[in-house]
Structures are given as C-alpha cells and as structure tokens.
Amino acid sequence: MNKLRVGIIGGGRIGKVHAQSITNLVPNATIVAIADPFMNENLEKWAKDKGINETYKDPYDIINHKDIDAVLICSPTDTHTQLIQAAAKAKKHIFCEKPVDTDLKRIDETMKVVRENNVLFQIGFNRRFDHNHSAVRDAVLENKVGDVHVIKVTSRDPEPPSPEYVKVSGGIFLDMMIHDFDMVRYLSNSEVKEVYATGAVLIDPEIGKAGDVDTAMVMLTMENGALAIIDNSRQAVYGYDQRTEVFGSKGCAKVENDRKSLIEVSTKDSVESQKPLYFFLDRYIDSYANEIIDFINSVQNGAEIKCGIEDAIRPVEIALAASKSLKEHRPVLISEVALSK
C-alpha cells in the first residue's frame, strides 16, 4: 500500500502534536510539507528534524500541492472555512481542528462544498478517541447501563486563559465546553433537544470584562429523554479535571481522572494519591494520536469516519443555544438556533 501523503497547515502546538504522531506512529503515512504564515528558522529546523523537507508560509502551497493527498488544518478558527472549502475543491481529504467556525451558516456552506467534492472530512474532537471516555461509550452501546437516564461531564482547566484569548475564542461554550457538548452526544448516543445554561465570573474579573464567564453549568435535555449536566471551570488548582459518567436503568459507567500513578497510600493519618495530570497534552496525547490514525485509516481503507460532518455542526448549535440561554436566563430549544432544513 502506498503511503498517504499529508500536508499540515499550522505549525503551532497542535500541528506539531499531529506531526509527531504521524512521524512516530503511522508507518503508512508521510508528511510532505507544513505551512505556517509565521514560518521561521526555528520552525523550519523542527520540520527538518521530523523529516518534513518542504516548508511554506502560504497554506495554499499545501492545498495546491500535486503530491499531497490529505491536509490537516491546525490553524486559527477564523481561517477554517476558507481553507476547508479550498482543500475540498482541490480534492484533498480533510482533517480539521474544532470548531469549523462559530457561525452556523458558514459551517453549513462549507460542509456543502465538502459533500459536493466527495472528499472525506473529520473534525478534531479528540476526546472520543480517549481510552477512558470510549470505554464508557462502549458500556452504553453494549447495554451494560441499560436505558440512559443521566450523563455527567466535568471539565476544568488548571489555569485560565488570558482575557485577550477570550475576546477572540468565542467564549467558554465555543472554545472549552464544546468538547463536552460533543461528549454528551457521544456518550448518550442521542442529540440535544433543549439547553439551559448558567454562569459566573469567579476566577478572573478581566474575563468578565471581556464579555465571558469563567465558571459555567449547563443542563441538557436529550431527544431520547435522558438528562445531562456539564460543569466547567477555567481554574482547577489541583490539575486538569476530566471526568464522565453515564447512569441508566441497569447501572452506571464512569471514569475518573488519569494520573501519573494510580498508587494510593493509606495510613492512620491520611489517604494519599497522585493529583490529576496538569496539562491537556499530558492527559490526551494518546487520543490525539488515535484520531489521526483513525483518519488516515479511513482515507486509505474506506473505514467509516467516526467524527464527521454532523459532528462538526451539532456541538456548535448547542454552544450557541447555551450562549443564548445564559444571556436570556431561560431554557433554549436547539430548534431556535439551528438552521432550517
């Protein structure tokens, strides 16, 4: 089998993570080139060290490259729709980091271009490919918990972002909780019907001045009747707090935080264990590799895309409904924000 020839757009943190995964773990793929508007000597040296011999500043040098079969879009969100559409028209298969966009009309237009050009598309919700969360999903699909009644997702970052980031990120629902919206859909095997959100500024007043909250809770009513609750915080001083639970008619499946060690020492004075992993790349590094491996397998072998076009649209709908709910202090139906079909 010929190796899949990949181009990466974006040489920042996540672009490097994906390049590392392909270089170390995917023998049936090779990275032909990487492009970044801020390409410099350090990034060029890093690329050469990874065996990437072609480096560009213009992402269209990747999209129009005759020797590239698939592109990984790891650039800022506001560039995604333009690059996806151009890549689709160039008949390149596409992996894109979340979200596609913060505007549903632009997402819808972009996904139409993808469909019209018959290329594969995968959105980067990497937590689906995490060993813990996927085990809970398997328990649901295998009917071990029975009919799903309640889904709980806790997601708390170890430290808050800068107010400058918040101003351009779309806010907590679109840049942080969007992963959890996808996770609720994934774990419940159902779509969201109604959203009720509340939030507060409890960590950094500057985040409030930037127009966002830093602590939020969202209750979701699913189409299958299940209820879900998500809590997010921009600052958990003990580490990166990531937990999921599904409760149903036959039982409960849940996962706790990953830690460096699972050892627990109990004495007459205390019970001690390791804190959660602190950084998201420590917690989810394997899931980032798994999603890229899965994408490449889909392109080469025709395997089903596990996180595709619908998964690019639905979490954004939920995020926009949550923002509307927070602003208007009321439950919001997804149908209020979704595009008419």
Q: Which helix (H) or strand (E) holds 148?
A: strand 148-156
Across the chain, mean pLDDT equals 95
- Confidence label for 266 from pLDDT (cuts 50, 70 and 90): confident
pLDDT of residue 1: 62
Q: What is the mean pLDDT of residues 36-43?
A: 96
Structure tokens of 236? 């958990």
pLDDT tens for each residue of 51-78: 999 999 999 999 999 999 999 999 999 9
Q: What is the pTM of this model?
A: 0.93
Give yes or no for residue 166 having a pLDDT over 70: yes
Do 11 and 150 have their domain in common?
A: no
Count of CB atoms situated within 10 Å of the CB of 150: 14
Rounded distance between C-alpha atoms, residue 236 and residue 238, angstroms: 6
Which of the four pLDDT bands, split at 50, 70 and 90, describes residue 295?
very high
Q: What is the pLDDT of residue 339?
A: 85
Structural domain for 266, as ranges: 128-280+314-336
Point out the domain boundary residue: 70, 88, 119. 119
What does the pLDDT read at residue 169?
87
- Tens of pLDDT along 187-215? 999 999 999 999 999 999 999 999 999 99
Residue 217 pLDDT > 90: yes
Output the pLDDT for position 45: 97
CB atoms within 10 A of CB 16: 18
**Spatial distance between the Cα atoms of 37 and 49, rounded to a whole number of angstroms:** 20
Own/partner pairs for 255-262, CB < 8 Å, 24+ apart? Answer: 255/132, 255/133, 255/135, 255/136, 257/283, 258/132, 258/283
Which of 279, 311, 326, 336 has the alpha carbon at shortest distance from 171?
A: 326
Q: How confident is the model at residue 239 (pLDDT cuts 50, 70, 90)?
A: very high
pLDDT of the residue at 215: 98
Q: Residue 253 above 90 pLDDT?
A: yes
CATH classification at residue 268: 3.30.360.10
Strands 121-124 and 93-97: parallel
The residue that leads in pLDDT, 96 or 2, is 96
Percent helix, strand, coil in the chain, to 5, is: 40, 25, 35
Residue 326 and residue 227 in one domain = yes
Q: For the chain, what is the domain count?
A: 2
Q: What is the pLDDT of residue 340?
A: 66
Q: Is the dihedral of CA 140, 145, 149, 155 positive or negative?
A: negative
Local structure of 256: helix, strand or coil: coil
Q: Final residue of a domain: which of 57, 87, 119?
A: 119
pLDDT of residue 273: 84
Asked if 176 and 133 count as a contact pair (C-beta separation under 8 A), the reply is no
Q: What is the mean pLDDT of residues 159-175?
A: 92
Q: What's the pLDDT score for residue 277?
A: 82
pLDDT of residue 68: 98
At which of 81, 98, 119 does a domain end? 119
Q: In whole angstroms, what is the distance from residue 1 CA to residue 296 CA?
A: 13
